Amino acid sequence: MALLVQKYGGTSVGTTERIKAIADKVKRFKERGDDIVVVVSAMSGETNRLIGLSKDIMEEPTPREMDVLVSTGEQVTIALLSMALNHAGCDAVSYTGAQVRITTNTAHTKARIVSIDEHNMRSDLDAGRVIVVAGFQGVDETGNITTLGRGGSDTTAVALAAALKADECQIYTDVDGVYTTDPRVVDNARRMEKITFEEMIEMASLGSKVLQIRAVEFAGKYAVPLRVLSSFTEGPGTLITIEDDGSMEQPAVSGIAFNRDEAKLTLVGVPDIPGVASKILRPISDENIEVDMIVQNVGLDKKTDFTFTVHRNDFKRAKSVLDEVCINLQAETSAGDNDIAKVSIVGVGMRSHAGVATKMFEVLSEEGINIQMISTSEIKISVVIDEKYLELAVRTLHSAFDLDDTKTVEES
Ligand code: ADP
Ligand code: ASP
Ligand code: MG
Rounded-to-integer distance, Cα 147 and Cα 138, Å: 6
pLDDT of residue 62: 95
48 CA to centre of ligand 2 in angstroms: 9
Closest-CA residue, ligand 2 atom 6, reads: 151
Mean pLDDT for the stretch of residues 18-47: 97
Q: Which of 74, 86, 79 is nearest to 24 (CA)?
A: 86
What sign for the dihedral angle of Cα 362, 364, 370, 375?
negative
CA distances from 295 to 305, 338, 340 (A): 8, 17, 15
What residues contact 154, with CB distance under 8 A and at least 6 apart?
Answer: 7, 135, 171, 211, 212, 214, 215
Cα distance between residue 117 and residue 18, in whole Å: 30
Are the C-beta atoms of 189 and 175 separated by less than 8 Å?
no
Average pLDDT, the chain: 94
How is the beta sheet containing 255-259 ordered, strand by strand?
255-259, 340-346, 380-386, 373-377
What confidence tens digit (pLDDT) does each residue in 86-132 have? Answer: 999 999 999 999 999 999 999 999 999 999 999 999 999 999 999 99
Predicted pLDDT of residue 245:
59
Instruction: Give DSSP secondary structure letters for 225-291.
Output: -EEEEESSS-S--EEEEPPP-S-SPPPS--EEEEE--EEEEEEEEEE--TTHHHHHHHHHHHTT--E
Site to probe by mutation for ligand 1, drawn from 44, 154, 173 as the one with most ligand atoms within 8 Å of Cβ, is 173
Please name each of the domains of the chain with its CATH number: 3-174 (3.40.1160.10), 256-406 (3.30.2130.10)
Give ∠ CA 392-291-139 in degrees, rounded to 5: 105
CA distances from 26 to 120, 172, 231 (A): 20, 11, 11
Ligand nearest to the CA of 46: 2
Nearest to 133 by CA among 150, 154, 104: 154
Distance, CA 128 to ligand 3 centroid (Å)? 29
Rounded distance between C-alpha atoms, residue 81 and residue 43, angstroms: 11
Model confidence at 354, in pLDDT bands (50, 70, 90)? confident
**pLDDT tens figures, 260-297:** 999 999 999 998 888 999 999 999 999 989 999 999 88
pTM for this prediction = 0.93
Most trustworthy range by pLDDT among 141-150, 285-294, 301-310, 347-356: 141-150
The predicted model gives 155-168 an average pLDDT of: 97
- 4 band by pLDDT with thresholds 50, 70 and 90: very high
Q: Is residue 256 within 8 Å of residue 394, measured between CB atoms? A: yes
pLDDT of 1 = 84
pLDDT of residue 244: 64
**Ligand lying nearest the CA atom of residue 210:** 1
Ligand located closest to 72 CA: 2
How far apart are alpha carbons 383 and 364 in whole angstroms?
10
- The finding on whether 10 has its CB within 6 A of some atom of ligand 1 is yes
pLDDT band of residue 248 (cuts 50, 70, 90) is low
Predicted pLDDT at 246:
60
Determine the distance separating the centroid of ligand 2 and the alpha carbon of 221, expressed in angstroms. Answer: 22
Beta strands 303-311 and 262-271 are antiparallel
| 2-40 as b/e: b if 16+ CB within 10 A | eebbbbbbbbbbbeeebbbbbbebbbebbeeebbbbbbb
Ligand 1 in contact with 238 (CB < 6 A)?
Answer: no
Q: What is the 3-state secondary structure (H, E, C) of 20-64?
A: HHHHHHHHHHHHCCCEEEEEECCCCCHHHHHHHHHHHHCCCCCHH
What pLDDT score does 351 carry? Answer: 86
Q: Please state the rounded mean pLDDT for residues 344-356.
A: 90
pLDDT for res 150: 95
Nearest to 185 by CA among 252, 255, 239, 240: 255
Per-residue confidence band for 412, with pLDDT thresholds at 50, 70 and 90: very low
pLDDT of residue 58: 95
Checking if the pLDDT of 410 tops 70, the result is no
Q: Which stretch of 4-13, 65-74, 261-270, 399-408 has the lowest confidence by average pLDDT?
A: 399-408
| Percent of the chain surpassing pLDDT 90 | 89
Task: Return the closest-CA partner of residue 26 out of 4, 41, 45, 10.
Answer: 4
Region 323-333: mean pLDDT is 94
Q: 38, 44, 75, 150: which to mutate for ligand 2, most atoms within 8 A of CB? A: 150
Q: Could you tell me if the CB of 136 is within 6 A of ligand 2?
A: yes
